[in-house]
Amino acid sequence: MGVSAIDPLDGAQPASTRELRLIQTLISIRLRGVTDPEGRRHMNWVSDLVSAMSLMVERGTRSGAPDFGTYMEETLSFWTRLCESRGLKLSVNGEVPALPDNLHLPLALVLHEIMGEVVRHYEPGAVGQAAAVAFAASATDISMVVSATTPAGDDAVHAESMALVEGLVALLGGQATASEPQRGGLTVKVHLPLTARQLQ
């Protein structure tokens, strides 16, 4: 992975975006000297996550930015197009509710991580594979469920991503549960209170 062509210190960008781009650039530079495959895998994962955060923050701070519901609809449209380009059907159920600002980025990151797992472990050409994202909300909380029939087998391959999702959601005072290996596929249920704790 090469250094981004976008100037990470570009003064036209919001400060938070510049800082994230600088971090991503430093990771890319450090990757040049990493030869261990496992080390490269972890650093590439961090770089991908920082890149996703940078795009989320940039869109959320630009002038005339859409509300979170609209942003999530655009994000889900991206995942739908990506899945369809690979022959995987993605359906979305329920409307994204209005959320407090402190939940915007965490929930978007959770969706990014789970959908990344779905696409990464998708087996092209397999019959009956599909994915779905569903939202539900009340006056006090929000639930998001991501399910996929891919892969049908050992959920242990998702352990690292699920540890991230469960840890982040727990810090916000919520709960995330993943499907059991014997059931096959992947189902992740995320439940967050609208009065979620601020991350320290």
| Residue-wise pLDDT tens digits, 27-39 | 888 888 888 888 8
Give the number of domains in the chain.
2
Q: Report which of 142, 150, 49 is spatially closest to residue 90, judged by C-alpha positions.
A: 150
Strands (E), 113-185: 130-137, 141-148, 175-178
Segment of 86-90, 126-130, 132-136 carrying the highest mean pLDDT: 132-136
Q: Tell me the residue type at 135.
A: F
The residue among 189 and 49 whose pLDDT is bigger is 189
Question: Edge-to-edge strands of the sheet including 175-178?
Answer: 89-93, 130-137, 141-148, 186-193, 175-178
96 and 182 share one domain:
yes
Q: Is the pLDDT of residue 81 over 60?
A: yes
Q: What is the pTM of this model?
A: 0.72
46 and 78 share one domain:
no
How far apart CA 15 and CA 183 sit, in angstroms, is 45
Q: What is the mean pLDDT of residues 114-136?
A: 79
How far apart CA 56 and CA 185 sit, in angstroms, is 28
39 and 78 share one domain:
no
189 and 122 share one domain:
yes
168 and 120 share one domain:
yes
75 and 145 share one domain:
yes
174 in a domain, yes or no?
yes
6 in a domain, yes or no?
no
90 and 180 share one domain:
yes
2 in a domain, yes or no?
no
Q: Is the pLDDT of residue 64 over 80?
A: no
34 in a domain, yes or no?
yes
Supply the range of the domain harboring residue 184.
Answer: 68-193
Q: What are phi and psi of 123, to 5 degrees?
A: -105, 100
Q: What is the mean pLDDT of residues 52-77?
A: 70
Tell me the CATH number at 79. Answer: 3.30.565.10
7 in a domain, yes or no?
no
State the alpha helices, DSSP H only, in the chain.
Answer: 15-31, 37-61, 68-85, 101-120, 159-171
Q: What are phi and psi of 168, to 5 degrees?
A: -65, -45
Q: What confidence score (pLDDT) does residue 2 get?
A: 42
Both tokens of residue 35? 């030869």
